[in-house]
Chain A
Amino acid sequence: MTSIPVAPTRLVTQARRDASADRNFRALVVLAAFIVLVSLIGVAFSMLWGGREVLAGQGLGFFFSTEWNPVENRYGALVPIFGTLVTSVIALLIAVPVSFGIAVYLTEAAPVWLRTPIGSAIELLAGIPSIIYGMWGLFVLVPMMTEYVTPWLNDHLGALPVIGELFQGPPIGIGLLTAGFVLSIMVIPFISSVMREVFLTVPVRLKESAYALGATRWEVVWNIVLPCTRSAVIGGVFLGLGRALGETMAVAYVVGNTVRFSASLLEPGTTIAALIANDFAEATDSYRSALLLLGFVLFVVTFFILAIARLMLMRLSRREGVQ
């Protein structure tokens, strides 16, 4: 008799407790998700706010000017933007084919006992701190560039009609090309490990059918593996690009840190991240404002490139859907 009325009350309180726990949990996860969004917008906005002084003084000219003159407080973002894009493009031009080769070798050609050791070695490369790459670049790569690469480029490519100008320069070994080389080595582990992972997901059935029809290894990779994994491969490439755009210390060591526009890849230049890292500690007032605004520019450039990647992936998947 007494136990019957008690039971519903207990159930009701239980249900109420559950409902409130549910609400709290929901609030908690919503908060977690919003922290990311709020901090993202907060970071972008605070950099823009920090750069308001220069933005007010120079207006949109800041984004299109090549001048960087701290004495007269005139700043332009075009040279560091150019350097950032050029070094990242050089890095990708080298890293993408090499990573593709690594991934194909490890998934299709290498003997099985060799696959794990090489795979782990490449992933270890990703764990090396960037300052180590910078020092290696300055003390090992730069002398090699001075002694061999730059003179060779000057003699062989420097005389070509259109692209010749890119490869004419003094043999100092420090410049955009060297920075691009260092960056390419830094992004290879990212791109190649993504490629290797996704190449392994291609159904063996498909590949063996192709082999059975007499396809060569190259034909299997190019016509079966790559089309199957195209969107993931592009994702991996953009992961590498994202890293190359924002890389700071390794680039600061070998890029030359000169805010001056030059058509040659062998001349020193600078990137947004390297310029900020170099100058921020001693920058005051409007100089600091210019660097913060430059940080905002890097934010926007990275955001745009990732957005383009997303867009490409969406269009690809839609086309694949049609097929």
Chain B
Amino acid sequence: MTVSTRLTAATFGLAAALAGTTAFAAEVTGAGSSFVYPLMSKWSADYHQKTSNKINYQSIGSSGGIAQIKASTVDFGASDKPMEPAELSEAGLIQFPITIGGVVPVINVEGIEPGQLKLTGTLLADIFLGKVTRWNDAAITGINEGVSLPDTKITTVHRSDGSGSTFNLTDYLSKISPAWKSEVGTGTSVKWPDGLGGKGNEGVAAYVKQVKNSIGYVELSYALQSKMSFTRLQNAAGVFVTPSAETFAAAAASADWASTTDFSLIITNAPGQNAWPISATVFAMMRAEPKDAERAKAAREFFAWGYADGKQQAAALDYVPLPDNLVEQIKAYWAARVK
């Protein structure tokens, strides 16, 4: 008796809550990637001023975003890691890029300025594998002539929580280093051979700052905001590039988006001359047949506005606006796939 009464009460409460959300039809909800959260909140604030449409984005993590859109509790999900076309069609979802960013190695070695140290992908893999253990290892000093490196042990710092940054870094290292691929592999969380784990970009940044002679990896905006010493990396074309919006954009531009299905492409180790090797795309996932077509349309209008009029805000927050030809492809994709 009491159980059924309680259940009924709960059902009524739930129904009331659901009715409450549908009553505000103009409010679009999204959830997912924490990496893209600063951009989403800036975009939605500006978009609200222009159009009075509300975009409510919750930063709950990429896998949470995918779970929410699969359950249709939000209008769009956002993830740092693309879903496979097969998985998308099975769940009845479509997928397209929102913006581009990048993962940067950061170091805390006395006297080394940002961008002064050069590393290759193999070297980065060997450091995180614990095979290169000292800063003055011949492999590091060999490509860094004129930089005085101390004879100290390298402490590595990685993300302890599952994250898109880890996914893109490990994907890159697996492409570059066969040893990494067989010993560690690719994933949002992996079995780290060595080192410390910090929670979130800010956790890794805090550890790298606290622990001398350490190396970690964060999103570029964290490295710039907390004034950390980032390294240059050798890209697929053999050039040592500095992480910046331009080199991320070069990676996005050199990627072959047109021949992908559902934009399911990871742009690490991109071929361009000026391409940053650990560039990363943030993807949005929406339902191909949305329950509320009006809100889904409002969400697409929001993204279209962001691609066209949100470029400045994106650049100010160290994200890379999508190249125009990619935006055209996304719009064609919407026209073809959304019912």
Interface residues of A (CB under 8 A from B): 67-72, 138-139, 142-143, 146, 170, 172-174, 252, 256-260, 268, 270, 277-279, 281-284, 287
Contacts and interface: CB of A to CB of B under 8 A. Distances in A.
Given A173-B211, A279-B161, A281-B161, A258 B195 contact: yes
B197 A258 contact: yes
B309 to A, nearest CB: 32
A281 B206 contact: no
Interface in B164-208: 184-192, 194-199, 206-207
Nearest to B211: A172
14 contacts: A67-B191, A69-B190, A70-B162, A71-B185, A138-B206, A170-B153, A172-B155, A256-B196, A258-B196, A278-B197, A282-B61, A282-B163, A282-B188, A283-B189
Nearest to A70: B189
B196 A257 contact: yes
B210 A142 contact: yes
Interface residues of B, number: 34
Given A173-B211, A282-B62, A70 B191 contact: yes
B250 to A, nearest CB: 29
Given A71-B186, A174-B207, A257 B160 contact: yes
Given A257-B160, A282-B188, A268 B61 contact: no
A288 to B, nearest CB: 9
A55 B318 CA distance: 44
A178 to B, nearest CB: 11
A209 to B, nearest CB: 56
Contacts of A282: 61-64, 161-163, 188-189
B190 A71 contact: yes
B67 A284 contact: yes
Contacts of B60: 281
Given A260-B194, A282-B63, 7 more contacts: A68-B191, A138-B210, A146-B212, A170-B153, A256-B197, A282-B162, A284-B66
A260 to B, nearest CB: 8
Contact of A284 (B63, B160, B191, B192): B63
Q: Counting chain A CB atoms within 10 Å of each CB, which of B184, B191, B212 scores highest?
A: B191
Contacts of A257: 160, 196-199
Nearest to A282: B162
A202 to B, nearest CB: 46
A138 B190 CA distance: 25
Q: Counting chain B CB atoms within 10 Å of each CB, which of A68, A257, A278 scores highest?
A: A257
B196 A268 contact: yes
Contacts of A72: 185, 191
Given A281-B64, A282-B62, A172 B187 contact: no
Tell me what chain B mostly uses at the interface: helix, strand, loop, or mixed: loop
A72 B187 CA distance: 10
Contacts of A258: 160, 192, 195-197
Contacts of B191: 67-72, 259
A174 B210 CA distance: 9
B211 A174 contact: yes
A174 B156 CA distance: 12
A43 B67 CA distance: 23
Q: Counting chain B CB atoms within 10 Å of each CB, which of A256, A270, A277, A287 scores highest?
A: A256
Nearest to B193: A260
Contact of A143 (B161, B189, B192, B210): B210
Interface in B194-237: 194-199, 206-207, 210-212, 214
Contacts of B161: 278-279, 281-282
A174 B214 CA distance: 12
B335 to A, nearest CB: 32
Contact of A70 (B67, B187, B199): B187
A69 B187 CA distance: 10
Q: Counting chain A CB atoms within 10 Å of each CB, which of B62, B185, B189 scores highest?
A: B189
B63 A283 contact: yes
Contacts of B210: 138-139, 142-143, 173-174
B196 A174 contact: yes
Nearest to B189: A70
A277 B203 CA distance: 13
Nearest to B190: A71
B162 A279 contact: yes
Given A174-B211, A258-B192, A278-B161, A252 B63 contact: no
A24 to B, nearest CB: 13
A74 to B, nearest CB: 9
B163 A278 contact: no
Given A71-B191, A172-B155, A252-B199, A278 B211 contact: no
- Nearest first, the 4 closest Cβ-Cβ pairs linking A and B are A282-B162, A257-B197, A257-B160, A69-B191
Interface string B240-276: 0000000000000000000000000000000000000
Contacts of B160: 257-258, 278-279
A260 B195 CA distance: 9
A102 to B, nearest CB: 31
A256 B185 CA distance: 22
Contacts of A260: 192, 194
A173 B60 CA distance: 31
Contacts of B196: 172, 174, 256-258, 268
Nearest to B67: A284
Interface string B43-63: 000000000000000001111
A278 B187 contact: no
Contacts of B187: 70-71
Interface in B287-301: none
Nearest to B164: A282
Q: Counting chain B CB atoms within 10 Å of each CB, which of A68, A170, A172 scores highest?
A: A172
Nearest to B162: A282
A182 B62 CA distance: 32
Nearest to A31: B2
Nearest to B207: A174
